[in-house]
Amino acid sequence: MRVLVTGGVRSGKSRHAESLLASEPEVTYVAAGPRYDDADWAARIAAHRERRAATWRTEETQDVAGVLAGATGPVLVDCLGTWLTAVIDAAGLWESPVGEVEEHVLAQVDAIAAAVAGATAPVVLVTNEVGLGVVPGERSGRLFRDLLGTVNQRVAEACDEVHLVVAGRVLRL
């Protein structure tokens, strides 16, 4: 089972992704986003941790491909949107030419997609769907939106299923 779960912010996608692996006794949970130092972010992380089984192991890393390639059991990656932010932040590429950013990001995305395709244990990945709304007014917002759309397409190609979550409801695409 290789599933990409997508949807808007607070749509219920993480909860749905966790439910897909709820029967698994041990899961590697990859927290792939940046680390923010504020109370709201800390509360969000705490809520996610409280929902997960005590037997689930959390790995905070942007090396999603490495974790997937080395996994011997089920893996849940949450989330590719925050992963993308962390990757661009770490490389300091927000103001770089689009082609340079794409080259840096897509090489890593291709490695993730290859690791997903080669996975022998269940893999569930969470991502944001950001291309359904208003065109962002800032360059960084447009860059993020466009890149995440490409990230989602490439990872979806490696998955068996894609689930769209809207208002807590799941549509299997």
Active-site choice (16, 48, 104, 163): 48
Question: Tokens for 163?
Answer: 């689930």
Whether 131 and 149 have beta carbons less than 8 Å apart is answered as yes
Question: Tokens for 4?
Answer: 């990409």
Establish whether 16 is a catalytic residue.
no
Label the pairing between strands 161-166 and 169-172: antiparallel
CA distances, 62 to each of 33, 34, 54, 93 (Å)? 7, 8, 23, 16
Beta bridge partners of 78: 31, 126
Closest residue by Cα to residue 143 from 63, 87, 60, 61: 87
Query: What spatial distance separates the first Cα and last Cα of the chain, rounded to whole Å?
Result: 15
Which positions are catalytic?
48
